[in-house]
Amino acid sequence: DPFDPGHVVDFDVIAPVSAEVDSFDVPAGWTWAPLISWGDPILPGAPDFDFENQTAEAQLGQFGYNNDYTTIVPLQDPNRALLVCNNEYTNEELMFRDWVDAQSATDEQLRISLAAHGMSVVELRRADADSPWGYVRGSDFNRRITPMTPMRFTGPAAGAKALRTEADPQGRTPVGTFGNCAGGTTPWGTVLSGEENFNGYFSSPEVEGGQSDRYSVYGSGGRAWERVEPRFSAENEPNEANRFGWIVEVDPSDPTSTPRKHTAMGRMKHEGATVSLAADGRVVSYMGDDERFEYLYKFVSKRTYREGDRKHNMRLLEDGDLYVAVFEGDGIEDERYDGRGRWVQLTRGGRSVVPGMSIDQVLVNTRAAADVVGATKMDRPEDVERNPVNGRVYVACTNNTRRGTLGQPGVDEANPRPLNKDGHVVEIVEARDDAAATTFSWNLVLVCGDPEDQSTYFGGFDPAQVSPISCPDNVAFDTTGNLWISTDGNTLGSNDGLYEVVVDGPNRGQVRQFLSVPTGAETCGPVIADDGRTVFVAVQHPGEVDGATIDDPASTFPYDGTGQPRPSVVQVRRA
Ligand code: FEO
Ligand code: CA
Ligand code: CA
Ligand code: CA
């Protein structure tokens, strides 16, 4: 009999909710409540959130904006834990009254926005295993990590010329992080965070606004941070942008620890990084570069994981080899999108194996290195994670509406749809089921969209019996190995949501919608906890709709009476 995992999260599927309807919807028999919201005080002495009287000083002690990656790191006491969240970016039009643009913002508003970026670490407690979690205001564990937090580079490119600035002539001590999108939690209890859309934060006088150069300083994102932090002007500090676009490792158990940016893992628009162990105990991290026609990567550590030796494990991501994926299809005559693939090595033992590129070039301009070796241009690879139950690796390719358009790459079997507006999910089977393998087989388990659209595919399951799903972004797993997908940018006229996808057994490909987030929001985070009785989701950018302002909001989530939307981490529990 094929293994049938069943459904560890017990719920009745919900119907899609129209994008016009501002509500947060969970299945019958389930309840939800915000666990923490933008502006909630976390550090000792931080004031209560006061929407009308925001200050940068207050924000530095409060939960950041636009919670994305969310993880719960256990502490010894099962009723205590650490919540770690990425605070990816800010929606100033929803934060400040009468907002026009960054150019006309006050310096204090710019500093508030800066302070609302980065990450938040917050202690959680509950009375017992059957009680909801709450956050602990003023806990010694609580921490804000911001664009101003001192950090350290590790690995072969630490100290590289391209990383040196006037403030850091050694090129080893970058300051801050932002654009933190997805992430991963390591077996040794640290959190990895991907610096994704870092490009929009640097003003560049030579480049017109919005004109992006794929490799270096991009056009001004219009955030005007250079007015309060001169290093964000490319004219003042051309190398500053090179100090972002990395994977950051944070130890949430030590609020005094210095976050590290691991150069061995390459530089790109890092969506995130998740870790798994190879057959021989080396640590393998899977990473997507979320931009149209960018690549899928993995990092394999030099040394092996040692259970219980935290000091040793803390350094595993500093030293190892970087690979990029090449997908080869076997043709569509078999009526399946599938084939074989190779992980092509970019670095070996701290040296470049890319013709014509130094190790510093490969690690700082990783996209260029992947171009040289002919990696496969993907439809915006977002979260990538290995299923701890079946060992296969799942890649959310969120969408790519330029695929097959004039002057752009056409379709291939791994990215088979032109004008791919709804995305797809790749399933990778590593050779010998070993995460360190250099070859794999693959197939598309989902081609997303309206099930009535003939171009969709649901793992062989009856399309008449699945929930429509569009723009997969984050992936997670429950204890039986079912895949959970949160979405960003639903094109089907519905709000985004969280979906359970069966990937093994007779119901493979069955997609069931679990919850729906408010108008304008993206579903992030998901954590399936307590054997399926609790689900955490991060509701990011509620009310982010063209033309919306706080005086005319498209969403007032979490409906706390303030009338303004506030990004929040939500705890969903079975009643
Ligand atoms: Fe921040 Fe690629 O999503
Ligand atoms: Ca095929
Ligand atoms: Ca994302
Ligand atoms: Ca996204």
Burial (Cβ within 10 Å: 0-12, 13-18, ≥19) of residue 50: exposed
d(CA 472, CA 290): 12
Q: Are 394 and 445 in contact (CB under 8 A)?
A: yes
- Distance from residue 442's CA to the centre of ligand 2 (Å): 10
d(CA 161, CA 148): 22
The pLDDT of residue 358 is 98
The pLDDT of residue 257 is 98
Ligand 1 atom index nearest CA of 290: 2
Which letter does DSSP use for residue 251 in this model? -
- Residues in a beta bridge with 145: 119
Ligand 1 atom index nearest CA of 488: 3
Q: Which ligand gives the minimal distance to the CA of 328?
A: 2
- Distance from residue 265's CA to the centre of ligand 4 (Å): 21
Ligand 1 atom index nearest CA of 181: 1
pLDDT of 219 > 70? The answer is: no
| Of the candidate ranges 5-14, 231-240, 307-316, the one whose mean pLDDT is the lowest | 231-240
| Of the candidate ranges 224-228, 359-363, 386-390, the one whose mean pLDDT is the lowest | 224-228
Residue 427 has a CB neighbour count (10 Å cut-off) of 22
Ligand 1 atom index nearest CA of 88: 1
Residues lining ligand 1, Cβ inside 6 A: 88, 181, 196, 271, 290, 382, 473
Contacts of 257 (CB under 8 A, 6+ apart): 250, 251
pLDDT of 2 > 50? The answer is: yes
Determine which residue's CA is closest to atom 1 belonging to ligand 1: 181
d(CA 271, CA 472): 13
Confidence band for 434, pLDDT divided at 50, 70 and 90: very high
For tokens 């580079």, name the residue: 153
- Distance from residue 505's CA to the centre of ligand 1 (Å): 31
The pLDDT of residue 221 is 61
* Beta strands in 387-432, from DSSP E residues, in sequence order: 393-397, 424-430
Tell me how far CA of residue 507 lies from CA of 462, 472, 475, 558, in angstroms: 9, 20, 19, 35
Ligand 1 atom index nearest CA of 68: 1
- Distance from residue 333's CA to the centre of ligand 3 (Å): 33
- Residues in a beta bridge with 486: 474, 498
Ligand 1 atom index nearest CA of 382: 2
| Of the candidate ranges 51-60, 178-187, 223-232, the one whose mean pLDDT is the lowest | 223-232
Residue 74 has a CB neighbour count (10 Å cut-off) of 11
Q: Which ligand gives the minimal distance to the CA of 423?
A: 4
Ligand 1 atom index nearest CA of 269: 2
pLDDT tens by residue, 553-568: 999 999 998 889 999 9
pLDDT of 42 > 60? The answer is: yes
Q: Which ligand gives the minimal distance to the CA of 338?
A: 2
Maximum C-alpha span of the chain? 65
Average pLDDT over residues 333-361: 98
* 558: preceding bond cis by omega (within 30 degrees): yes
Average pLDDT over residues 438-462: 98
- Distance from residue 527's CA to the centre of ligand 3 (Å): 15
The pLDDT of residue 90 is 97
- Distance from residue 271's CA to the centre of ligand 1 (Å): 6
d(CA 359, CA 347): 7
pTM, whole model, 2 decimals?
0.97
- Distance from residue 330's CA to the centre of ligand 1 (Å): 30
- Distance from residue 415's CA to the centre of ligand 1 (Å): 19
d(CA 575, CA 560): 21
For tokens 């089977």, name the residue: 429
Which letter does DSSP use for residue 375 in this model? P
The pLDDT of residue 278 is 98
Write down the mean pLDDT value for the chain: 95
Q: Are 147 and 113 in contact (CB under 8 A)?
A: no
Confidence band for 43, pLDDT divided at 50, 70 and 90: very high
- Distance from residue 288's CA to the centre of ligand 4 (Å): 11
Cβ < 5 A residues, ion ligand 2: 330, 334, 336, 338
pLDDT of 77 > 60? The answer is: yes
Three-state DSSP at 261 gives: strand
Tell me how far CA of residue 558 lies from CA of 24, 185, 194, 543, 571, in angstroms: 8, 27, 26, 11, 12
Q: Which ligand gives the minimal distance to the CA of 383?
A: 3
Assembly ipTM: 0.97
Q: Which ligand gives the minimal distance to the CA of 414?
A: 2
d(CA 456, CA 452): 8
pLDDT tens by residue, 476-493: 999 999 999 999 999 999
The pLDDT of residue 115 is 98
